[in-house]
Chain A
């Protein structure tokens, strides 16, 4: 965070934060790699902003240490850390024009007028604000204010860019556009990005790694495909997208995986079950299940009845109830859904052994 123009590597070690008796963050340990795009994902109130504020130096942690490139910066004031930050709501200087907002961090650093003019001009071009240089923030649209905030935070080449839900106030189409620009800016600058969102699809689309928070705890960190396909607990599994939960009895290790009984039928799983014995939950994403007309030997499957369908255009979402009353959702081709519904009674739900994962029964 201290050398301009060079991406920073940050280590958070056992960070905790209490507000009175309320625990906003608990024993958070996290390594943020040089130049990575890390997303902090979690529901509202899970402590994401608090952690970002601690990284920026605006909030002092109650416990723990923070390192930047190996240097302890836990007690370093915010103005000396100089992380670029984009606040929720942007926090632009309302009395300064676009140009003056972006020039602010450079003026603070006593750059020459010529250099400031150059860098600001370059940045304005890069974020597509040409022609708006003299406007005040109040005269700009939400998307444009967003760009000013980004430009202001990037113009002094900070080692890390912290972004607190930067797109939450934008409408959907603008969001997609800004996400693409964000990716491009990350590649162009090579800076370490720490990005906060409560939108799981945004997190999966943008990040090199995702850190999932709940109730002030860091639950899991990993690449988007890792956390999506191999969540280590139920909260992460459910937060990252729709998922079906089927109870499995008598789980035990088997050849390259595990085996157990699901609705009185033997099912095979590729995932390891060393921590899990006896009863467990088998979690499978809707897109990983399909519908077959009848049962095949040696294939995972259970009987279910289709009860409702939602047409999504490219596919149909089908709601089913299993024989033992579990609710299941699958995403299937439109004709398959129509056939399943018209059949009225039982269909066969199947899934490949390598899809799905085991979670401990009950609890998180």
Chain B
């Protein structure tokens, strides 16, 4: 007697506790944050006005957007290459690609950030090696700056960028690629004029996910940026726990959440949720 309707109701019932949890854990506290942004230290729009005029806040916002944009380009490009190998490579290549995609998930974000510090610092592996080979005489500054942040964040985000791309590439009709080659197009030309445009929805989904994730990064920029390249999440933390300037911190949070919400709405116009996993 289990028809599709009762299945759907069953699924809804199973999801219900999750929804309740999300409301209790996120939506409710967030309403509190919204309230702070309008009431602390004095009621009114003062915090939003400050947000628009404060040079520090503005420069952090702009830096966050810039880093997020660069990280998005780097991650999606790298993920695209890995995904092509993963989806279309030989069996051995596939296993290797899968390994590269999955291993990062087993290592915590903190461990990875310190791993990058070990690699990129003045006495790290890369500088030591470059110096021993004689390419450089003085160590390059690879960490505790924006470069280090971008490397660490991209490394973290590439696996997430892979899934929407893989789903787009898997659903592509192989015969269309054959058709292009049969019409005289080289492999290179087929890749750029047929394969890439046909995976467009995957690229958009992948880019939006990476961008949204980048906006909220905290641990990686805090460690690899060394306090010199503060991003928006770290600024919120500083305003709330160190200044303490709860009103401004709350206002920044609200702006960030609204912005991310708008991006997510855009994301789901292009990609179905099930393509993201």
Chain B nearest CB: distance from A4 CB in Å?
Answer: 10
Interface centre among A79, A83, A92, A109 (most CB of B within 10 A): A79
Q: Nearest CB to that of B174 among chain A residues?
A: A91
Partner of A79, one of B173, B184, B194, B197: B184
Q: A89-B173, A93-B176, A94-B176 are in contact. Are A78 and B200 (CB under 8 A)?
A: no
One digit per residue, 1 when the CB lies within 8 angstroms of any chain B CB and 0 when it does not, for chain A 73-94 equals: 0000111111111011101111
Q: B180 contacts the other chain (Cβ, under 8 Å)?
A: yes
Q: Which residues of A contact B179 (CB under 8 A)?
A: 85, 87, 91-93
- Evaluate contact between A85 and B180: CB separation under 8 angstroms: no
A109 near B180: Cβ-Cβ < 8 Å: no
The answer to whether the Cβ of B167 comes within 8 Å of any Cβ in the partner chain is: no
**Inter-chain contact total with CB atoms closer than 8 Å:** 67
Chain B nearest CB: distance from A183 CB in Å? 23
With most chain A CB atoms within 10 A of its CB, the pick from B179, B183, B184 is B183
Chain A proximity mask over B166-198: 1 for CB below 8 Å, otherwise 0: 000000010110111111111101000110011
Residue on A nearest B178 in the bound complex, by CB: A58
Chain B residues whose C-beta falls within 8 Å of the C-beta of A85 in the assembled complex = 178-179, 182-183
| Chain B count of residues within 8 A CB distance of the other chain | 19
Per the CB 8 Å criterion, the residue count for chain A at the interface is 27
Contacts A83-B182, A85-B182 given: A108-B189 contact, CB under 8 Å?
A: yes
The reply to whether A108 and B183 form a contact with Cβ atoms under 8 Å apart is yes
A167 at the interface (CB under 8 A from B): no
Closest to B187 in A: A79
A14, CB-defined interface residue at 8 Å: no
Contact of B184 among A91, A93, A156 (CB under 8 A): A156
Could you say which residues of chain A place their CB within 8 Å of the CB of B176? Answer: 91-94
What residue of chain B has the Cβ atom nearest to residue A109's Cβ? B184
Q: Which residues on B sit within 8 Å (CB–CB) of A80? A: 184
Residues of A within 8 A of B182 (CB): 56-58, 78-79, 81-85
CA A64 to CA B187, docked complex, whole Å: 26
Given A82-B182, A85-B179, A93–B194 Cβ distance below 8 Å?
yes
Asked whether any CB of chain B lies closer than 8 Å to the CB of A11, the reply is no
| 21 A-B residue pairings within 8 Å (CB atoms) | A57-B182, A58-B181, A58-B182, A78-B178, A78-B181, A79-B187, A80-B184, A87-B175, A87-B179, A89-B173, A89-B175, A91-B173, A91-B178, A93-B179, A104-B180, A104-B185, A104-B193, A105-B183, A108-B183, A108-B185, A109-B184
